[in-house]
Amino acid sequence: MTQMLAARAGEITPAMRRVAEKEKVSPEFIRAGVAAGTIVIPANINHKSLDPVGYGRGLKTKVNANIGTSTSFPDIEKELDKLKVVLEAGADAVMDLSTGGDIDRGRRRIIAESTITVGTVPIYQAFLENREKRGNMIEMSADDLFEVIERHCADGVDFITVHCGVTLEVLKRLKGQGRITDIVSRGGSFLTGWMLHHGKENPLYEQYDRLLDICLKYDVTLSLGDGLRPGCLADATDRSQIQELIILGELVDRARAKGVQAMVEGPGHVPLDQIAANIQIQKTICKGAPFYVLGPLVTDIAPGYDHITAAIGGTVAAAAGADFLCYVTPSEHLGLPTLEDVREGIMASRLAAHAADIVKGVPGAMEWDREMAKARKALDWQKQINLALDPQRAAKIRRERNPEDHEACTMCGDFCAMRIVAQYLGKEPEFC
């Protein structure tokens, strides 16, 4: 019994109740959204440490952080250190994108130690294992791919990114389109190479019912990946991207018909003035399925600052209806992120998510800002720190740059506007 099938049967599961409690909405609101497919609760039956989270219409915008080994840095212990940062920084989900070392062992440890939603991209491991076994990734069979998918699901992964919409028809449009960056998705590129080499259709599309059966078995949520997401502004919103999205919309229908939860992934690099249109198109074609976006990044020229680029686009996307933001770190396009990069990426995306939630009217969003405003007026520094998105950083700056027990901050000193106006209005703040 998946969350969706239970919701359709009128049942409010413990996971639905927990999500309702977190979101400050009624359990019936959550149940109805899950039944309709406009809310998903990724909650694999084998992820025992999970504190479930909801993603979708009427809920807070959520943030995902990516971690994982590479062939250059295969040490899982370093990625587990990043997981601790992910949890401390307040992300709602973590994706293990490992491509180096003992991938099975690393994934199982991440699932065991994570109280938040865990996602993976199984095709990475499927291709890498075939390179080890046969000396060539391209010789992977459909059975090889589905065996790895089931292994991830059996281990307790809550959602899997699967590039089911990268079809021969879409690749034909890509060739005719003439992109600058072609395909920047790793999963999309692996499948494209396989399809062109074998002259066969994408097995994830051709055997989609087989994929759904695995998801039903473990209650795994499908994250329908955007293999044709634009890798630069010039490639945004082209025919191949939209053609893939049309196919994903049809696959959302098929997942819902079976009782499998599904969300849809989106771009990518998108000019600011195209973001809202991209969200509207997706929500229409995919009938309100939760939308999970990477960024979007609103310029291509900011290596080292792409967490800011993504936060700008993420705010616009979430305000327009996106439900789930995948973080981007300062090291995007440059290298594997450090612990500090992970933290900065999460905070930038959380800031974008909250700014959008104010626009959406999400319960509690505007109230948080109102409380901060009151604390600032009262010069209540401890409350300001407690209310800060990142209390740790706020406290550090306050401590290092202001004399002890100094009433105002050193930016204004004796000329604190709050203090001056309060004196004339007879509302002298009480220093705390």
Please report, in range form, the residues annotated as the binding site. Answer: 66, 95, 124, 163, 185-187, 226-229, 265, 269, 292, 333, 409, 412, 416
Binding residues for Zn(2+): 269, 333
User: Which string of DSSP letters, residue by residue, matches 298-332?
Assistant: S-S--TT-HHHHHHHHHHHHHHHT--EEE---TTT
Binding residues for [4Fe-4S] cluster: 409, 412, 416
Q: How far apart, in whole angstroms, are the C-alpha atoms of residue 88 and residue 392? A: 10
H or E element, residue 118: strand 117-120
Distance of CA 161 to the CA centre of its chain: 11
- Residue where the block lists tokens 């995948």: 326
Tokens of 311: 């936060």
Q: How far apart, in whole angstroms, are the C-alpha atoms of residue 341 and residue 294? A: 16
175 by Cβ neighbours in 10 Å (0-12 / 13-18 / 19+) ranks as exposed
H or E element, residue 196: helix 186-198
Binding residues for substrate: 66, 95, 124, 163, 185-187, 226-229, 265, 292
Specify the long-range contacts of residues 389-392, CB closer than 8 Å, at least 24 apart.
389/347, 389/350, 389/351, 389/354, 390/89, 390/347
Backbone angles phi, psi at 326, to 5 degrees: -90, 125
